[in-house]
Structure 1
Amino acid sequence: MDEGVVALVTAGVGLIGAIGGAAIGGIAAARGARIGAETAARATVKQVHDQAAVDHGHWLRQQRLEAYGAMLIVYEEYGRAATVAQLFLERPESGVDDPELGNVASRATAITRVYMKIRLLGPSAVKDKALQLRLKIDEHVESLGVWMEAARSADESAIQAAQSRAQALRGEIAQLYSEFLTVGADVLVTVESSATQVN
């Protein structure tokens, strides 16, 4: 065999090997790039999802904090108005009239408005306590109206019964309010800790 032919065959085999190696290397590189891109895309989607969960948790916590804070404010306003009305009712000579009870009723309406926001934000444990509190306050408003009617009619036994009922309801309201605060605080802590775990 001639040296030229051997060199030509060797060059041909080398060329085929180089082309084959380049093709295999290119395929491997393309596959590696695709796998890397898919992995990066999955990591990005997970990161975006996790950040959205954290952001939602913070938003929900803030909304609940505002709603629970609003309940504190309207409850205090209701308590002051109810105390004024009860003081007037305990002193029939003071001439208690509808304006005092109207103020109590408007404060009870404010509690209902705040309850509606809490009802939307949840969770169910807080919604349940807020509903119980709202309903008990409605009962208290009614009991003050009964007391006022008894005072107007000067029926001592009716006055005593109405006064006793109103005072018992205030105790029940205070208990429900305390339970609402406890459950609400637990929820806020739980939302905050779950948001922190996602980080």
Structure 2
Amino acid sequence: MRELVIGLLAAVFGLAGTVVGAAVSARAAKKGALLSAQATVQQVHDQATVDQAHWLRQQRLQAYEGFLGAWDECLRLIGSVGLPGDFGSTEGNPLKQAADRMTERALRIEILGPAEVAGAADELADSIRRDVQIATKLKDLTMSTLPEATDRMTTETTPAMAGARDAMQEASRQMRELVAESGRPLHEHPRAPEVIEAVERAQQLGDAATVRANEDANRVSIFLDQASTIVLELKRNQDARAGIRRQFTTAARHTLASTVPDP
């Protein structure tokens, strides 16, 4: 009987050991599977982060390059054809069209970021738009002043000056003839009043033409002063762009260099 009890106890303890061992092994296997799963999830997460960073960097690179392409196009147009056209109309104004493209690409940078690059891009786009606005102001001033002034000088002042000169030359010729043929005091000559009247008329024509010429000169002088002020405004705007361009380039390079994390 005693041997039977001892045998049963041994069997029970042996079974318990087996169960405990199995449980320990199961827990170890579960823990290993959990750790493996966590490692896999972390690896997938890390890879996704890297892939997203690569994608973001590529999108930013394309956006920055597109923006600078529009910027270079604007500068090329400014250097080659000046600043023509009406800011309110796109048709026939290649600089306005290029400025609009630059603004669109600045908006894309605003979406992709970062804020430092987007801010510099927006400032550069604003600078080009101001160029167009200033150019439009200069064009409006020119069109409202020069055609009328040029027409007045061509159709009125120049003929008036020519008429005054011809009248004076004719009066001088008559006076010389009168002096040459006169054998008595000049004021006693019967044609003297006629010649003196011609001289006075020529002088009046000359005075009127001079007044016209001075008025034209004043108009042109005022125009040149106003145009010079606008040109100085344009130059200040363009000078300020150099610093903004450096700011954009530096921020863009830093962003592209730091976008992709280390694997």
Length-normalised TM-score, structure 2 = 0.64
Alpha-carbon separation, structure 2, partners of 1:188 and 1:15: 71
Q: Are the aligned partners of 1:82 and 1:104 in contact in 2 as well (CA < 8 Å)?
A: yes
In the alignment, what sits opposite 1:20? 16
- Alignment size in residue pairs: 183
**Shift in Å, 1:191:** 1.1
- Which structure: larger Rg? 2
Deviation at 1:29, TM superposition (A): 1.0
- Asked if 2 retains the 8 angstrom alpha-carbon contact of 1:84 and 1:100, the reply is no
Partner residue, 1:93:
none
Asked whether 1:65 is paired with 2:61, we answer yes
Give me the identity figure in percent.
Answer: 28
In structure 2, distance between residues paired with 1:173 and 1:68: 17
Q: Please name the residue that 1:116 is paired with.
A: 107
Unaligned runs of 5+ in 1: 90-95
The equivalent position to 2:43 in structure 1, one of 44, 47, 53, is 47
Contact in 2 for aligned 1:64/1:121 (Cα 8 Å): yes
Match of 2:251 among 172, 179, 183: 183
Is 1:75 the counterpart of 2:71? The answer is: yes
Moved more, 66-75 or 131-140: 131-140
Q: Distance in 2 between matches of 1:28 and 1:50?
A: 32
Q: 1:140-198 deviations in whole A, cap 9, x for unaligned?
A: 11011112223332321122112222222122223212211111111111213xx12xx
Of residues 12-21 and 116-125 in structure 1, the stretch that sits farther from structure 2 once superposed is 12-21
**SS in structure 2 opposite 1:105?**
helix
Structure 2: unaligned runs, 5 residues or longer = 147-222
Judging by fraction of residues, say which structure has more helix.
1
Is the CA contact 1:115–1:131 (under 8 Å) kept in the aligned structure 2?
yes
Q: Does 1:130 align with 2:130?
A: no
Question: Which residue identity is paired with 2:32?
Answer: G
Determine the structure 2 residue equivalent to 1:146: 137
* Alpha-carbon offset, residue 54 of structure 1: 0.8
Deviates more, 1:66-75 or 1:143-152: 143-152
1:30 is the counterpart of 2:26:
yes
Which runs of at least 4 in structure 1 moved beyond 4 Å after TM superposition?
96-101
Partner residue in 2 for 1:171 = 239
